[in-house]
Structure formats: C-alpha cells, structure tokens
Amino acid sequence: MDTKEALFKYCLRLADNNLVLGHRLSELCSNGPILEEDIATTNIALDLIGQARHLYQYAAEVEGKGRTEDDLAYKRAEREFYNTLLSEQPNGDFAVTIARQFFIDVFDYYFYKELLNSKDERLKELAARAIKEVTYHLRHSTQWILRLGDGTEESHKRLQTAVDGLWMYTGELFEMNEVDEILIKEGIAPNLNDIKTKWESKVSEVLAESTITKPEDGWMQTGSRKGMHSEHLGYILAEMQYLQRAYPDAQW
Amino acid sequence: MVSIDTDKERIYQLLNEIPDPEIPVISVTDLGVIRKVEWEDDTLTISITPTYSGCPAMKQIEQDIEKKLADSGYEKVKVKTVFTPAWTTDWISDEARERLRKYGIAPPQGSADKSLITTEPKVVPCPQCGSRNTQLTSQFGSTPCKALYKCLDCKEPFDYFKCI
Ligand SMILES: [Zn+2]
C-alpha cells in the first residue's frame, strides 16, 4: 500500500465514523426524549455529517478516480465501510445514546487535537474546524453522564447498564493497521496508543464523578477496520442508500 | 475603467448587502464568512469559510453571492470554500453584535475560548431586559451557532450566539 492509498482509506474511516453516527443521531429527530435534546442531538448529527462531507470530498480527490462524495457515501457496500462498531450501535434508551456519544466524543476530542499537528494540510484544516464542534459535543455528553449517573436510582441503573453493554466496543477505537502505520511514519496520522491513554484517564475521571463503575476490560469486539460489522450497519445503509440504489444517479 | 481597488471596495459593499439567511439583521460580511475577494484573470473569486462543518446556510450564502454579483454585472464569479483559519465569533463586529442584541439574540460573550471544556459558561445578559440573572437551557439551539437560554427576571427564553 502506498501513502496515497493509505490516506484515501484513512479519510474514508474518519468520514464513515461521522456519517454513521450522524445518521444514528438523526434518527432521534422528532423522537428526542425532550425538545432540547431533540434539537441537541440533531445539531450534533449536522456537525458530524458536515465533517463527513468534507472528509469524503477529500477522499475522492485523493483517490482521483472521478468519484464524488455522494458516490462514496451512497454507493459502497457494507463490507467497504470502515466505521467503528460502536458508532453503528442502535440508539437504545437515552442512556445508551449518551454513553455511546460520550465514549466517541472523548475519543474525537483527543483525536482531533492531535490531528491539528498533522503534516497533511487538509486534515489539519479539517481538524481545526472539527475540534471546536467536538468540544461542544463533549461538554454536552459529559454533563449528561454526570446527570444520569448521579441522578435517580433509575437513571443510574440505566446508565450503568448502557456503559457495561457498550464497553466491549470501545477497544476497537484504538486499533491500528497498515494504514495507520504508513501515515504515522509520514507524520500525517496520530498514534492511537497515545489517544488511548488520554481517553482512559478522561473516561475514568468522568465515570467516577458520576458514581458509575468503570467496567473491567474483557473481550473486545473487533472487525470494522477490515469492513466486518455488526448486524446493525446493513439496516442503516439500507435506509440511507435507498434512493441511490433504487434510482441510481438521481439528482435533486 | 475603474481601478481594481475601487472595484473591490464596491464588491465588498455589495456583499455587505447580502443578509445572513438565518439571521437577516447581520450581513454575510458582518458574520465574517467572507475571507477574500480577488480577481483570477477575468473571474471574480470570493472565498468563504463555513461557520460550522454542517452549516446548511453555506449553500444558500454561496447562491446569494452569485446572484447578487451577477445582478450587479459581474459575469464570471466563483465562490470557493476555505477552511483556514477556522471561523470564530471573534470576527463578528461590535456593531453587528449590537444589532444581534436588538434582534433578540444575545451576542457572543468575550472572545473564543481555547479550553471550552474547563470553562463554565459565562454570564449571558438577557437581550430583552438586560438582566444578568439568566440560565442555560440547552447548549444547542435553533441553528448550529446558537444555544438556548432563559431569563429568570423577565421570564423570556432567548437564543445565545455561541462563542467559538
Ligand atoms: Zn430578561
């Protein structure tokens, strides 16, 4: 694999993460638990899908085969998506939505902070824009973790269940493969081991404050770096790609 | 034949007449999204930067710029998006902040924080009655750039233009 191919795959991975989580959150549009949260989650979805668009545009340019952002989002099959298993997990109850969001927000926050040092100008620019947005997302999910964890008996129980249930998907956030190896060497991508240390420390701190017990690391689910997904991604794509599949190249 | 500089001044004036699609009391130049006006051969190129990655108004702003300039006789116009430096509310002029307040939107307080995470939200005075006794309802509001507050004195809810 050369640097160009690695960069293309890397951009896809980042874009897929944002698109799939953005799609998940958009499912809450008009279904939020309260009006403010309905607005908050859809705003976050908008940021994520916006970031995904810029990443797909860049991926398409890097690839240089004439594909567009839409081709990349709507015309790839499940096995060609590289988003983490965590990002595709269903919304569940509000505690699950928040726990999933919190784990990803903490990751994104430290990740984009590191990406600001990338030697790739475009990724650096995208990180400068994204870090401002992600900071707000993290503030939002952190406050909910504290509120639910240290809230009522019921909210505490639900959040603990959500954290326990999602923990097995968190190990994959830090997995690295050949793509990372090549780009770390070039000074383009951050080393995810460094992000992991910061992630663990932040997550431990917030969970402790919210009186939630941090789960022990056990078996961690894996597969997305190779395009292997949980059963949930297929349903997301079936809905998201419907129009382009039924009416190829349809335009607004 | 007008000189390039006078021409640029006129172009800025035209752009200043284009309202922000979501907050029409301020113009796209007030908002700070216009980053550069330049001639590339016979093409007038306007560089804009998004406020937020997913800001749905950007496409509208692009079209409004094209239309405004086309109506004013500029035939070849290109609008391009740039990302650096990242947009900040620091670029909103004082005068525009005052117009926001009169419109009922609390303007961004102070200058953009680098460490938003550790900082408690500052006092946001109510744009209706000026009271400092206000409370955050939600960090996210009707558009990506705003948060929801309420005034504990006059009881009015209001939008706050987030400082980023
Ligand atoms: Zn008031």
Tell me the per-residue pLDDT of A49-76, one tens digit each, with 9 for 90 and over.
999 999 999 999 999 999 999 999 999 9
3-state secondary structure A126-178: HHHHHHHHHHHHHHHHHHHHHHHHCCCHHHHHHHHHHHHHHHHHCHHHHCCCH
Q: Which of A99, A84, A96, A101 is nearest to A43 (CA)?
A: A101
**For chain B, what is the mean pLDDT?**
88
**Number of Cβ pairs < 8 A linking chain A and chain B:** 75
Q: A137 and A108 in contact (C-beta within 8 Å)?
A: yes
Q: Are residues B106 and B143 in the same domain?
A: yes
What is the CATH number for B23? Answer: 3.30.300.130
What confidence tens digit (pLDDT) does each residue in B80-101 have? Answer: 999 888 899 999 989 999 999 9
pLDDT(B141) > 60: yes
**CB-based contact A40 B138, cutoff 8 Å:** yes
**CB-based contact A136 B137, cutoff 8 Å:** no
The Å distance, Cα B158 to ligand 1 centre, comes to: 9
Q: Are residues B73 and B23 in the same domain?
A: yes
- Residue pointed to by tokens 């090549």: A182
Q: Are residues B152 and B126 in the same domain?
A: yes
ipTM computed for the complex? 0.81
Q: Specify if B27 maps to a domain.
A: yes
Q: Specify if B58 maps to a domain.
A: yes
What confidence tens digit (pLDDT) does each residue in A124-175 have? Answer: 999 999 999 999 999 999 999 999 999 999 999 999 999 999 999 999 999 9
Q: Specify if B2 maps to a domain.
A: no
Give CA angle at A90 (A87, A92), nearest 5°. 125
Q: Are residues B106 and B146 in the same domain?
A: yes
Range of the domain at B105: 93-161
Q: Specify if B102 maps to a domain.
A: yes
Q: Which of B50, B81, B112 is the last residue of a domain?
A: B81
The domain total for chain B is 2
Q: B28 and B17 in contact (C-beta within 8 Å)?
A: no
> Which domains, and CATH codes, for chain A?
3-246 (1.20.1260.10)
Q: What is the three-class DSSP state of B149? A: strand
Q: Are residues B104 and B125 in the same domain?
A: yes
pLDDT(A6) > 80: yes
The Å distance, Cα B125 to ligand 1 centre, comes to: 8
pLDDT of residue B3: 62
Measured between CA atoms, the residue of chain A closest to residue B136 is: A36
pLDDT of residue B110: 74
**For chain A, what is the mean pLDDT?**
96
pLDDT of residue B145: 86
Q: Are residues B25 and B77 in the same domain?
A: yes
Going B100 to B106 to B110 to B112, the CA torsion angle's sign is negative
The Å distance, Cα B126 to ligand 1 centre, comes to: 5
Q: Are residues B157 and B101 in the same domain?
A: yes
pLDDT of residue B118: 44
Q: Are residues B130 and B150 in the same domain?
A: yes
Q: A161 and A95 in contact (C-beta within 8 Å)?
A: yes
**Complete edge-to-edge strand list for the sheet that includes strand B77-81:** B34-40, B43-48, B77-81
Six-digit token string for A101? 């969001």
Q: Are residues B72 and B103 in the same domain?
A: no
What confidence tens digit (pLDDT) does each residue in B17-67 have? Answer: 999 998 999 999 999 999 999 998 889 999 999 988 888 889 999 999 999
Segment holding B148, helix H or strand E: strand B146-151
Q: Is the pTM of this model over 0.95?
A: no
Q: Specify if B3 maps to a domain.
A: no
pLDDT of residue B121: 59
pLDDT of residue B116: 52
Q: Which of B36, B54, B81 is the last residue of a domain?
A: B81
Q: Are residues B56 and B113 in the same domain?
A: no
**CB-based contact A133 B50, cutoff 8 Å:** no
Q: Which of B36, B57, B81 is the last residue of a domain?
A: B81
Q: Specify if B143 maps to a domain.
A: yes
Q: Are residues B104 and B138 in the same domain?
A: yes
Six-digit token string for A242? 């419907």
pLDDT (mean) for A207-219: 96
Q: Are residues B117 and B66 in the same domain?
A: no
pLDDT of residue B79: 95
